[in-house]
């Protein structure tokens, strides 16, 4: 018997996605073959362990699928080791922490209120509860990473792990400088590239694997795959903790990370999602994907420039990647109100803390915008001025229902003819 209620709601969500303007920086649209793999009979198979080393029988086929995902990921990022089992980016980071730290160890991460992530040491997250977090942020006058504070704090506190990467930072990272600091204090570096991973794979941004010991990412943002996480390393170094196998040989970091994923933080891997990851990694190796990433970056750059022209404050003054963080205080509107107003016009953004925010995390002074999803649908440079104009008219409407309704109709007319996945 078909579940009419749930499939009716799925169709309702499809209509929402089709008619709306999706500007949440952490969202994207997956291809039909990614979705097909994710909804396949692979969901039926339990496969605890790694390819060739399972705790269940009948894994001959899923072993090939998971190994293909690993091989494609390593080729995509020029890595020598990878684990594709994490259920999410947060799970990937949790596994790295488990492999590299003991409870109470010091970590140095990018402040959540400046654009970092919950799993980089926030006190409400496991990373801030189990470990002793210290933070660096951005400079108030420029909105750029304060590498001087990062270095000073690292030398003073000597953390075991330095975390770089962000959920709301629009500029590239100086991984070489962070590695120099880490080497001086004896720390490992975790680069969380969940947001810009597609651009890094396409060689449009600096490569963290050149300098960072361990790199994590999600697969559903700019990589445009299924929801999930990954861990990888350029070089599978020997662990620095002296942990050995029974034969006396030092374990590799890869071995520690594998064990931290399973059985450390997860049970059976989601082989249907891993199959979909393999499809997405294959797509990301194509020329079409690189051209898509170039368009994402160009769309974001133009969008940020047009917002600046209209008097909006872009934190850090622009963008190098797919996203931008807009401080709305110059416009006299909160992030919460902006999100609600734009939602009425079928434009989806998320309220977001800005550096040195004067509002609470439930209100915020900013919104975060990204161009990955709209570019997947076929939005190009020619459409960006219209989109910025729609957003500006909505935010400056003072809640006038007629203006908002006009914006909603314009949004629907622009987006509804476009496929969810064009490139």
User: Long-range contacts of range 352-359, CB-CB < 8 Å, 24 or more positions apart?
Assistant: 352/168, 352/325, 353/112, 353/113, 353/168, 354/315, 354/325, 354/327, 354/329, 355/113, 355/114, 355/115, 355/137, 355/138, 355/140, 355/143, 355/315, 356/140, 357/113, 358/329, 359/334, 359/335
What tokens does 212 get?
A: 């960072």
Residue position matching structure tokens 């104009």: 389
Asked about 319 being catalytic, the answer comes back as no
* 161 membership: H or E segment, kind and range: strand 161-164
Q: Which residues contact 297 (CB under 8 A, 6 or more apart)?
A: 199, 204, 320, 321, 322
Whether the Cβ atoms of residue 192 and residue 163 lie closer than 8 Å to each other:
yes
Known active-site residue 371: no
Which of 27, 46, 174, 251 is the catalytic position? 46
Render the burial of 198-232: b for 16+ CB within 10 Å, e for the rest.
bbbbbebbbbbbebbbbbbbbbbbbbbbbbbbbbb
Measured CA to CA, the distance from residue 231 to residue 87 in angstroms comes to 11
Decide: 218 and 306 in contact? Cβ < 8 Å: no
Distance from chain centroid for Cα 397: 32
Q: What are the residues whose beta carbons fall under 8 Å from the beta carbon of 188, sequence distance 6 or more?
A: 100, 160, 161, 162, 182, 213, 214, 240
| DSSP sequence for 69-86 | HHHHHHHHHT-SEEE---
Known catalytic residue: 380?
Answer: no
* Catalytic choice (45, 132, 177, 227): 227
221 catalytically annotated: yes
* Four-residue CA torsion sign, 150, 151, 152, 153: positive
Tokens 């930072």 sit on residue:
169
Identify the active-site residue in 54, 160, 179, 221. 221
Q: Which of 218, 319, 334, 348 is catalytic?
A: 218
Question: Out of 22, 66, 111, 192, which one is annotated catalytic?
Answer: 192
How many residues are recorded in the chain? 423
Q: How many CB atoms lie within 10 A of CB 102?
A: 11
Q: Is 46 a catalytic residue?
A: yes
Q: Tell me if residue 55 is catalytic.
A: no
Positions marked active-site = 46, 48, 192, 218, 221, 227
């Amino acid at each position: 018997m078909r579940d009419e209620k749930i499939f009716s709601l799925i169709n309702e969500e499809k209509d929402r996605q089709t008619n709306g303007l999706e500007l949440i920086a952490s969202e994207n649209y997956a291809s039909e073959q990614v979705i097909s793999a994710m909804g396949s009979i692979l969901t039926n198979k339990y496969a605890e362990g790694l390819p060739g080393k399972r705790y269940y029988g009948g894994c001959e086929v899923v072993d090939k699928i998971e190994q293909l995902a690993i091989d494609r990921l390593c080729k995509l990022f020029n890595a020598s080791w990878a684990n594709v089992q994490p259920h999410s980016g947060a799970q990937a980071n949790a596994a790295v922490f488990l492999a590299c730290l003991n409870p109470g160890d010091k970590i140095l991460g990018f402040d959540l209120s400046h654009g970092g992530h919950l799993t980089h040491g926030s006190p409400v997250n496991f990373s801030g509860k189990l470990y002793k977090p210290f933070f660096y942020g951005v400079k108030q006058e420029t909105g750029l990473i304060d590498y001087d504070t990062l270095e000073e704090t690292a030398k003073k506190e000597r953390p075991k792990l330095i975390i770089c990467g962000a959920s709301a930072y629009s500029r590239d990272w100086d991984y070489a400088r962070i590695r120099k600091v880490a080497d001086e204090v004896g720390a490992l570096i975790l680069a969380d590239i969940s947001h810009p991973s597609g651009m890094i794979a396409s060689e449009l941004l600096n490569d963290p694997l050149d300098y960072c010991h361990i790199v994590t990412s999600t697969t559903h943002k700019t990589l445009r795959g299924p929801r999930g996480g990954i861990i990888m390393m350029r070089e599978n170094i020997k662990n620095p903790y002296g942990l050995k196998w029974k034969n006396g040989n030092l374990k590799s970091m890869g071995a520690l990370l594998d064990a931290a994923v399973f059985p450390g933080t997860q049970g059976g891997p989601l082989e249907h999602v891993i199959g979909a990851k393999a499809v997405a990694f294959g797509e990301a190796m194509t020329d079409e994907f690189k051209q898509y990433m170039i368009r994402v970056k160009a769309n974001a750059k133009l969008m940020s420039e047009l917002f600046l022209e209209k008097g909006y404050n872009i934190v850090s003054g622009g963008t190098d990647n797919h996203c931008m963080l807009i401080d709305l205080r110059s416009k006299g509107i909160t992030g919460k109100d902006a999100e609600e107003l734009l939602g009425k016009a079928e434009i989806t953004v998320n309220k977001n803390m800005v550096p040195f925010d004067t509002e609470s995390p439930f209100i915020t002074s900013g919104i975060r915008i990204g161009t990955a999803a709209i570019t997947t649908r076929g939005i190009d440079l020619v459409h960006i001025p219209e989109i910025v104009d729609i957003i500006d008219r909505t935010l400056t409407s003072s809640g006038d229902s007629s203006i908002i309704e006009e914006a909603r109709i314009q949004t629907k007319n622009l987006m509804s003819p476009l496929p969810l996945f064009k490139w």
